[in-house]
Structure 1
């Protein structure tokens, strides 16, 4: 079940773990529509919802979807453990490290970590 919640003054759309996979640009568009319909400012996506190729950077799926989120002024947090993927990809490790320094796209272990990050950055 997808729901919205307030975290540190930010309206967050929290996607359900058991929803359809996000595997294409069109899937990203659907999430943008859902975020707009709930007036969310940030989308929290469980890592389990990502399609198998989403974080394989050579497919460019993540980059395309994340760029659309940014273009529509939506922030995004991928929530969950991606350590196994990071071990096998220096490029992905670099990407995660750099995005986590910014204000638009984050990779975090839990919703509690998201709440703490929003509190630190001033929502």
Structure 2
């Protein structure tokens, strides 16, 4: 795993590059984000859709809700970059819409958009 630190608008953002699935379950996900925060000195992160297990995008598992709630509780911000049109679930589309309307978690189509969003909230 490689972490690039990008500074925009006086805000540091950690961009994670990896071929691995990094978020598999709630307990290990929070450890991952806490370690990422400590190592990078950032509280804003950009990850790819592929860094999350497929269960994350199945809202019935509760994984997304639990992981994202922990991030918000610890004042971290996250942008997930990918093509979310591959999912047909209306509830997931509504969830993504709601997240994108907030100030903490975003599902975007490019790293550039993710960095822009995280550096402006």
Q: Same fold (TM over 0.5)?
A: yes
Please report the TM-score for the alignment, with normalisation by the length of structure 1: 0.87
Q: CA RMSD in A?
A: 1.6
The alpha-carbon distance between structure 1 residues 16 and 81, as it changes in their structure 2 partners (threshold 3 A), is same
Q: Match for residue 101 of structure 2?
A: 101
Q: Match for residue 71 of structure 2?
A: 69
CA distance in 1, matches of 2:8, 2:59: 29
Aligned residues: 119
CA distance in 1, matches of 2:93, 2:46: 20
Comparing 64-73 with 110-119, greater Cα deviation is found at 110-119
Q: Match for residue 38 of structure 1?
A: 40
Moved over 3 A (4+): none
CA contact (8 A) 1:28 1:65 kept: yes
CA distance in 2, matches of 1:103, 1:24: 24
Q: Match for residue 13 of structure 2?
A: 12
CA contact (8 A) 1:100 1:107 kept: yes
Please report the TM-score for the alignment, with normalisation by the length of structure 2: 0.88
The alpha-carbon distance between structure 1 residues 65 and 91, as it changes in their structure 2 partners (threshold 3 A), is same
Deviations 1:21-60 (A, max 9, x none): 3110123122222113321121111001110111100001
Query: Unpaired segments of 5 or more residues in structure 1?
Result: none
